[in-house]
Structure 1
Amino acid sequence: MIDLGYSLSRRFPDPPQTDYRTADVHALRHDLFCGDVYLADVKADRELSTAWGWVPVLDFAWALCDVIELLDQDPRGNRSAQTQFAELDFTESTDCLVFERRFGWVDVTADWAPDEAPLNFNHRALRREARDFLHDLVADLTDMHEGLADNPAVWDLLARFPRV
C-alpha cells in the first residue's frame, strides 16, 4: 500500500498579499505552499521524506504525476523488460527522487538517502495514488486559500491528471 502525504511549513508562509486566483504557474510551482512531503510503503513500513520545510508541495504533486507518465512511454507497458528512468528534482536543490520502472514495478530511491533500499510499487497503483494525492492536495489548498479554486492553471492541472 502506498501513502503520499505532506505538511505545510510555518517557517515559509505564503506572502499575505498573494492573489491565488491569478497566481501564475511559476508562483504555483515554486513560490507557494512550502512544506515537506513523504512517499511511504505502508506494508514494508518504510518511507522517503523531506525534512527541509521549503519543498513546494503542489510542485511535488504536479511533478510526481508528470514522472509517472514519463515512465509509461514504452508501448509494451507492463510487458516491457527495458528499464525506464525518470527523476523528480526538487526546486532550489540538487536533491532528487529517482524512479526506475521495469515490467509493472517502479523502484523509488532518494539521492539524499543512498544507503536506503528502494521503495517498490506497482506502476498502476502509484499512478492512481499520485493523482489522488494531487486532487486531495488541491482540495485542501483551495479550502485554505480563497480564489485558488478559480485559478485557470489549477483547472488545467486537474484536467490533465484526472483521478483514475
Structure 2
Amino acid sequence: MIDLGYSLSRRFPDPPQTDYRTADVRALRHDLFCGDVYLADTEADREVSTAWGWVPVLDFAWALCDIVERLDRDPRGSRSATPVFAELDFTESTDCMLFERRFGWVEVSADWMPADEPPLTFNHAELRREARDFLHDLIADLADMHEGLADNPIIWDLQSRFPRV
C-alpha cells in the first residue's frame, strides 16, 4: 500500500502579504507551501522522504501527477516491457527522485538513498490513484489554511487536469 504525506515547515513560512486568490504558477509551484514530503510502501515499511524543510509540497504533488501520466504514454500500457524513465528534480538542489516503469510496475528511488537499498515498487494504477488523491487532499488542506486559494483559477485547472480516479 502507498502512503504519500507532507509536513509544512515553520522555518520557511509563506509571506504574510500573499494573495492566494491571484498567486501565479511560479509562486504556487516554487515559492509557497514549503516543507517535506514522503512516499512510503507501508507493506515493506520503507519510504523515500525529504528532511530539508524547503520542498514546495504543492509542486511535489503536481509534479508527481505529471510524472505518473508521463510514465503511461506507451500505448501498450501495462503490457509493455520497454522501460520508461522519469525524474522529479528538486529545484533548490541537485537531488532528484527517479521513476522507472516496466509492465504495470513503477520503481521509485532517490539519488540520496544508499546505493545498496532497493527501490520502492508500486503498481502504476495504484500510484496514479494515490498521487491524485494526495494532490486533492493537499489542496483541500492548503485551502483551509490559506484564504482565497480555493478561488485561484490555477488551482481549478490543476484539479480538473488531475481528477480523482
Match of 2:9 in 1: 9
1:25-104 alignment runs, 5 A limit: 25-104=25-104
Question: C-alpha offsets along residues 81-113 of structure 1, whole Å, 9 cap, x if unaligned?
Answer: 000000011121111000000000000000011
CA distance in 2, matches of 1:72, 1:107: 14
Three-state SS of the structure 1 residue aligned to 2:64 is: helix
Amino acid at match of 1:82: T
Question: C-alpha offsets along residues 107-151 of structure 1, whole Å, 9 cap, x if unaligned?
Answer: 000001142210000000000000000000000000000000000
CA distance in 2, matches of 1:90, 1:136: 22
CA distance in 2, matches of 1:105, 1:80: 10
Match of 1:123 in 2: 124
User: Is contact 1:80-1:102 (8 Å) kept?
Assistant: yes
CA distance in 1, matches of 2:93, 2:160: 29
User: Is contact 1:108-1:118 (8 Å) kept?
Assistant: yes
CA distance in 2, matches of 1:61, 1:131: 8
CA distance in 2, matches of 1:89, 1:130: 17
- Residue 9 of structure 1 deviates from its aligned partner by 0.1
The 10-residue stretch of structure 1 (110-119 or 42-51) with the greater mean CA deviation from structure 2: 110-119
The 10-residue stretch of structure 1 (154-163 or 106-115) with the greater mean CA deviation from structure 2: 106-115
CA distance in 1, matches of 2:138, 2:91: 18
Q: Superposition RMSD on alpha carbons, in Å? A: 0.5
TM-score for both structures, normalised by structure 1: 0.99
- Residue 57 of structure 1 deviates from its aligned partner by 0.0
Question: C-alpha offsets along residues 16-66 of structure 1, whole Å, 9 cap, x if unaligned?
Answer: 000000000000000000000000000000000000000000000000000
Identity %: 83
CA distance in 2, matches of 1:159, 1:91: 25
Paired residues, number: 164
Three-state SS of the structure 2 residue aligned to 1:101 is: strand
Query: Which aligned segments of 4 or more residues in structure 1 are displaced greater than 4 angstroms?
Result: none
Amino acid at match of 1:128: R
Match of 1:134 in 2: 135
